[in-house]
Amino acid sequence: MNPNEDRPEPETGPSGSSEPTPSETLERLTELEERLRISEKQVALIRQAHAESAAEYERVKDRMRRHQEQELERARLAMAKNLFDVADNFDRVVDAARQGGSHETLFSGVQAVRELFLKSLGDFGLARYGEVGDHFDPNLHEALSLASVAAANLDGTVTAVFMPGYRAGSEVLRAARVLVGKYVAPPEAEPPAEA
């Protein structure tokens, strides 16, 4: 077997030599220059498209930021408007106190303002929680102390609320500060000794 059989024959020009002719070289050079120009145009178009995309991304980001700021401002103003009624009702209670209203009337007025305020919070998705008898949950409550309870079913329940908790949906804004019941079984009474 001849080792040169697998090798391709070198191309030869019209004169029979393996060197390209000057006209072939010029033709090949012209072809490569044209391909280079086309590639440079493609690169320029890609760069331009990238720059336009980046600019559009920045514009969208700015619009979203402005929109978010506007929504926050709307929510803030809506909450403030909701509290105007609360402030007006407080003024009415203060006026009634100045005019010598009865304790029952003043108490009713303050209680009505309190309910209106809590309703206003509820309108914005804020909920107050923490009641005596609730099961103690460390995710919702802050135990300030333990208190002995007489029944086993009261173990681990809220026995007093020092400050109610507030949450928005599942997010706790302020944990309820509570007293938690702790049951301790009384010692067994010894049976009387037999005489």
Express each pLDDT in 33-46 by its tens digit: 999 999 999 999 99
Cα(129)–Cα(171) distance, integer angstroms: 12
Residue 20's pLDDT is 85
Q: What is the pLDDT of residues 98-137, one digit of tens each?
A: 888 788 888 888 999 999 999 988 888 899 999 999 999 9
Q: Cite the residue boundaries of each domain of the chain with CATH code 3.90.20.
A: 21-124
Cα(128)–Cα(163) distance, integer angstroms: 10
At 48, is the pLDDT very low, low, confident or very high (cuts 50, 70, 90)?
Answer: very high
At 190, is the pLDDT very low, low, confident or very high (cuts 50, 70, 90)?
Answer: low
pLDDT at 18 over 80: no
Q: Cite the residue boundaries of each domain of the chain with CATH code 2.30.22.10.
A: 125-188
End-to-end CA distance of the chain: 125
DSSP codes, 120-173:
HHHHTTEEEE--TTPBP-TTTEEEEEEEEESSGGGTTBEEEEEE-EEEETTEEE
CATH number for the domain whose boundaries are 125-188: 2.30.22.10
Q: What is the pLDDT of residues 130-179, one digit of tens each?
A: 999 999 999 999 999 999 998 999 999 999 999 999 999 899 999 999 99
Fold classification of 21-124 is Hemagglutinin Ectodomain; Chain B (3.90.20)
DSSP codes, 68-100:
HHHHHHHHHHHHHHHHHHHHHHHHHHHHHHHTT
Mean pLDDT in the chain? 87
130 in Cβ contact with 164 (< 8 Å): yes
Cα(165)–Cα(185) distance, integer angstroms: 31
